Structures are given as C-alpha cells and as structure tokens.
Structure 1
C-alpha cells in the first residue's frame, strides 16, 4: 500500500471574512465547523498542521493588519509546534517559505481548507499541484462569496464555490468532503508521521 506524508494546510480563516457587507453573500456556513473537525483530528493524531494568514495591503480591507478582522478566528490559533505563514497575495507559496517547510517535513500530500474557495484557496491549490504535491481540497471546509462579473451578471456564493471546485477537480486536486478526508488521511494506514 502506498504510504504518503501529508499535512493539513489552513488558509486565511480570519475574522474579517465575517463582514459580508464588504465581501457579499457567503455559501457554506458550516465550513468552519468542518475545518475545526479536521484540525482537531490532525492534532489528536499528532499529524502536521500549517497555518496561513492574509495580510492585505489595502487599508480598506477587513484583512489589513490594522483591523480587528486581520486576526484569526477563535479556535484557529496555531499551537507552538504549528508554523504560520503570512502572505499578501493569493498564493500561500509567494513571498513565504512554505515550500521550504514542506520540503523539510518531506510532505507529499497537502489537505487544504480555508477561505476563500475561488481566491487564495484556488491559487494555492494550483501552485501546490504545479510544484508536484498531491492535493486534497475539502469542499465543505471552504467557502466563497457572491460576485458580480465583468458583464454585470451576479453569481451567488454557491455558484462561485461550485465553479471554482469544478475548475480544480481532477486537474489540480481531488475534491473530498470532511468525512472522506478523515477516513483517507487520518484514520487510514496511508498516513505516516
């Protein structure tokens, strides 16, 4: 049986994403509940957890470091042995030493959760796959906001989420739900430390 070394990568679970008046209507209100299930399972199993936090350079953004929204949501604070990488672009690999960290830990598979599906999650998934990592994206542990397209058409948060996932499916990542990820990466013998 193939054995791989995997980690949980948690992207941008920050208080600023609670401001729907800034971002728009959001889908998947239970995303954080599922993220916490995975986080707890990885920690209980003593498996690697890595955090990413977005530091916006836009002073109007709720994710600007001068705003309360820059803070990680309650329950998502890193433990002492869990590295955190601060970024100011969509990819968690750009301007950080995330790739070095993964290489030092001999990580081959990245299980990705966080916010938002079509922005930082999608960009990080694509880069991880391009670097040669296996990627499992957990669709019920991510979420997206509504948007207005170039032609004025409005897309709901669910439509944006589904579209982003469909573009990643089978080309950049396997798309799993929380329970499938727990079975495959935490409860199975495929996972080594």
Structure 2
C-alpha cells in the first residue's frame, strides 16, 4: 500500500479550538503523518473551509486558519472550499490528476460532514483512499459520542466500501513506500 499524497481536511482553529473528541491525540496523529510525508517527499495538501463573510470560517480570520501544529509549509498547496466536499470547485481533483496522484491518505475533520463527503467523492472520482485510525475526529452529538461516530464511519461506512481504514502505524509505514 504505497501512498501518493496526504490530504488534511479542515483542521482549522475554529474547529480544533472547540475541542472535538480526542482533539490532542488527533492533532498529534496528523502531525506524525504530516512529518513523515514531508520527510519522505510525499506531497502534503491542505483543505480549508471558507464559510464566507460573518462565518466562523471567514477567510482571513483566526478561526479560518489551519491549526499551528499542522500549518502548511511553503510550497504546500491549500485548497479553499465552500461545500462539504474537498473536491467540489476547489481545484483539488485537477491538481491530483495533473501530478498522477491516485493513492490518497486522508485525515482531518469532521467525520460525519466534510470528511465523509470528501472520502465518498474521492472514491467516486476513482481515487484509492486510505483513512488512518486516530487521524479523524468529530464532536459529540445528540446521537452518539464523537469517538463512537468516528468508529462507526470507519468500520461500517468507509472500510471496504469507499476507503481502506488502517491503523495509524500501518499508514505511517506506507508513507514513502512504492507500490
């Protein structure tokens, strides 16, 4: 299971600052993935939600910024989105296709909203999607705690259908490895 690129979705101050389930552990896991990719030369791409004027994700505001431990380095592309999907009208698909990046490692937030939409759209567009456990999170809801929601999506929605869900250490081991 080689990987061509890491896509980090919506790890923005407005969301991380509200302390989703396992926030510190999730940021740490994603930071490990980002670091391993940078070290191995695997492209790191960031997706950031722009909610428009007056929104907590308004472009240029503190809430819109990607959280400091995961901040993009010079040369790492950032794709701003206005919809749940990381692919809709962002240029992400064209960027990946131009570079022949088909095997995607995806991580970030929010499990049942933007992250889920992005995994499914990525699958529909023909990308090979891998999701590492511990690198996706969401908030508690009226239906279930955030950790249970994420586990449900990993095990019952994504794995074997739209993506391959693997332990974090397996994803880290695959970074930089060829086919």
State if a TM-score over 0.5 links the two structures.
Answer: yes
How far the C-alpha of 1:66 sits from its partner, in A, is 5.8
Matches within 5 A, 1:62-141: 62-65=56-59, 67-141=61-135
Question: Which of residues 140, 163, 169 in structure 2 aligns to 1:179?
Answer: 169
Distance in 1 separating the partners of 2:82 and 2:97 = 22
Q: Give the Cα separation in 2 of the matches to 1:116 and 1:41.
A: 23
1:15 corresponds to 2:4: no
Which of 127, 146, 150 aligns to 1:157? It is 146
Q: Take 1:62 and 1:90, find their aligned partners in 2: how far apart are those partners?
A: 15
Runs of at least 5 residues in structure 1 that lack an aligned partner in the other structure: 149-153
SS, match of residue 69 in structure 2? coil
The answer to whether the aligner puts 1:41 opposite 2:36 as a matched pair is: yes
**4+ residue runs of structure 1 moved beyond 4 angstroms?**
none
Unaligned 5+ segments in structure 2 are: none
Picking from 134, 138, 142, the partner of 2:136 is: 142
Distance 1:19 1:37, change over 3 A: closer
Structure number with larger C-alpha Rg: 1
Task: Give the stretch that moved more between structures: 42-51 or 154-163.
Answer: 154-163
- Give deviations 1:37-73, integer Å, cap 9, x for gaps: 01011001111111110111373x4323364211110
> For the Cα contact (< 8 Å) 1:4–1:108, is it kept in 2?
no
| CA deviation after TM superposition for structure 1 residue 161, in Å | 1.2
1:151 matched to which residue of 2?
none
Shift of 1:184: 2.2
TM-score by length of 1: 0.84
More strand, by proportion:
1
Deviations 1:100-156 (A, max 9, x none): 1001110110000111111111111101111111000112011011122xxxxx321
2:51 corresponds to: 56
TM-score, length-scaled by structure 2: 0.90
